[in-house]
Amino acid sequence: VNALAMLPLGGTDGGRLSLSIFGRYGHTIIGAGVWFSVLIASFTMERVDVLIGAWLINNIVQNDMEIPCRDEVSDVSLPRVLTAFTLWFITVLAIVPLS
């Protein structure tokens, strides 16, 4: 369940990472792609009740206005960007079963 919070969606932890790395426009594009992927996966894969629940919670409960970042001008350093991509990769490995 904690891995779902790392998906780059809305106001989740992964969404904040996405917003800081890609900016508002890039975050919107990536978030839409992830939403579409979660929606497709929830109807095509077996045992994905958690994905449907996370999708509903993020759409209904966390659908409030976004709090703007304090500093949207400075670039994010390369080690932090690599850390974010590593965390997203681990999230995908945790959510998608290997068998």
Distance of CA 56 to the CA centre of its chain: 14
Q: pLDDT, tens digit, for every residue of 40-77?
A: 877 777 766 666 666 666 666 666 556 666 666 677 88
- H-state helical runs in 1-99: 13-44, 49-60, 78-95
pTM of the model as a whole: 0.69
Q: pLDDT, tens digit, for every residue of 16-45?
A: 888 888 888 888 898 888 888 877 877 777
Q: For position 82, what pLDDT does the model report?
A: 93
